[in-house]
Amino acid sequence: MAEPASDSARPSDGATPPRPQIRRLSEGTVNRIAAGEVVERPASAVKELVENALDAGARRIDVAISGGGKTLISVEDDGCGMTADDLLLAIERHATSKLAVDDAGTEDLVHINSLGFRGEALPSIGAVARLGIISRPRGGEGHALKVEGGKLSGPRPAGTAPGTRIEVRDIFFATPARLKFLKSDRAEAQAVSDVVKRIAMAHPRVAFSLTHEGRTMLRLDAEAATDDEEAHLARLARILGRDFQDNVMPVAIEREGIAIHGHAGLPTFNRGNAQAQYLFVNGRPVRDKLLTGAVRGAYADFLARDRHPILALFVEVDPAEVDVNVHPAKAEVRFRDPGHVRALIVKSLRMALDDAGHRASTTVAGTALGAFRPEPQALHQPPPQRHLMELASRSFAPSAPAIHVQGMEDGHGSEVPAHTPADALAGFERAEARVEDTASTDDLMDRPLGAARGQLHLTYIVSETRDGLILVDQHAAHERLVHERMKKALAEAGIKRQALLVPEVVELGAGEAAALADRSDELAELGLVIEPFGDGTIIVRETPAMLGDTDIQGLTRDLADEVAELGEALSLKERLDEVSGTMACHGSVRAGRRLTAAEMNALLREMEVTPHSGQCNHGRPTYVKLTLPDIEKLFGRR
């Protein structure tokens, strides 16, 4: 509980309260406040210093830290360097070389072509830490200066190579209360590593290194690839690993002055959070709700809500069309036309997903191989002789429920159960997917998903290819195929609507209702017919028929929130996709269903020509491929 004001400070009854005095804050206090905005932790300081090095034209940047950056941060570059006068200006607040000036002497805050331009980083760091700078311009002399808790020492002549080296020691020593909010050395070092990696992703032509307590955490040479996209992918692979390189799709699109490029992961290559989504605007790493929302929208039909794709996307836009000055740490941006940017990101990702066809991530096979473990007892202690015949009879008896391998010599199953209808796989009517009676299984082995050889546990199809084998989850695969057919039918015939006997009145805020009314045409295409109904009120007359008896109030409010935040009614599309997916699930071939050879091969052929058939509607893989070398490793042949 707060202490009561003293009698001297409390005005007597009827007296005029004292007028508060306005005073100018001291320079030290101002710098400490700025430091709180710009330097939240050691990683923040590293980000500012590395971006300064890039703006200085560096082609090599070496970062060294101790104590997670709390004890020491050193950033050395081979950039253009600074003179003694430059050093003195660099440590003053709001002094920068990164803003263009017109003929009238006015700084241009619209066309920002640099990573840092506020001119607050160095004075802010110097206000809360012991800052040392040594720099030398090419063809000039080197100089050094120090700033400790805001107190300047120097500059003085110093010998050094061309470029700049900045050392930050004992960060927050001048504001010890801030130290209590820092995490362990290991956690802070990891945050620094993440910052350096994100910046390095956007600048593949620059070499980076990071050491902690003398131990190398990261070392990246400048990428030598002549093509920028190849250089970007090579840099991303070095940072994110080989799995990223093997399981991503190229993304490239350009419309109306906005270019988007990068690489996006297959739906089956995903994570439980969005930390592996790396987004950049004009070379600047950002964490922006608009961009992450666009990614979510693009993958909404392929991943469960709690799964997130892995990707690295780079947005290039005219600096005049984006405001990078909305956040002190420059972590967020604001676009002049956010709807256009979002739509372009969704379109580029959807195009990449369509081009991926039936691909599934290679990590699926790696996980499957990892599940194979030899059992020492089975290897070294064979079962007693008296059980061998019993084991053989269980394994190979035609009626054994554990494994059912159907005859394939004539292209048909050796038995067709009476409960299997003639149209068991109705819908595989595509000419290119039809299995002709004259096609031999040997020819089918050249197809991407091979020739069906049998059925395991009445659930998994075993297929053989020239270079290995494939296991297909028959229910998950057919579920995706049915879902894609339904989506195509909806796109061609439109979404059917059902009229409400009594229109639903939904009360919203005036701004929300107006924003939703502006999207009425778009919502009508999705089956939701709305009209303005007075100030801040919407009336719903029709809803999508496939939603059935739905919560109209909740749906409308969710849509209003999304339109206000993202500029698109995403939740309605997701609900329609969810219903479509549920219908596809119930209308597809179930696990436990015995299939003939022709039916299994028809399923494989349909998968090969259907986009996104490598994963089910929930983002799980529909098939696993094991190459012959993988299988040979399991048996010690390699």
Contact partners, residue 500, CB within 8 Å, separation at least 6 = 540, 541, 542, 543, 552
* Residue 52 identity: N
**End-to-end Cα distance, the chain:** 73
Q: Which tokens go with 400? A: 């054994």
d(CA 316, CA 283): 8
The Cα-based distances of 100 to 112, 153, 476 in angstroms read 8, 30, 57
Give the residues of the chain that fall short of pLDDT 50.
1-3, 5-6, 377-438
Decide: 221 and 207 in contact? Cβ < 8 Å. yes
Task: Locate the DSSP E strands across 27-124.
Answer: 60-66, 72-77
The pLDDT assigned to 430 comes to 39
Q: Report helix, strand or coil for 555.
A: helix
Q: Report helix, strand or coil for 460.
A: strand
Contact partners, residue 51, CB within 8 Å, separation at least 6 = 115, 116, 199
| Crossing angle of helices 121-128 and 27-38, rounded to 10° | 110
Whether pTM > 0.85 for this model: the answer is no
The pLDDT assigned to 436 comes to 44
Backbone angles phi, psi at 399, to 5 degrees: -90, 5
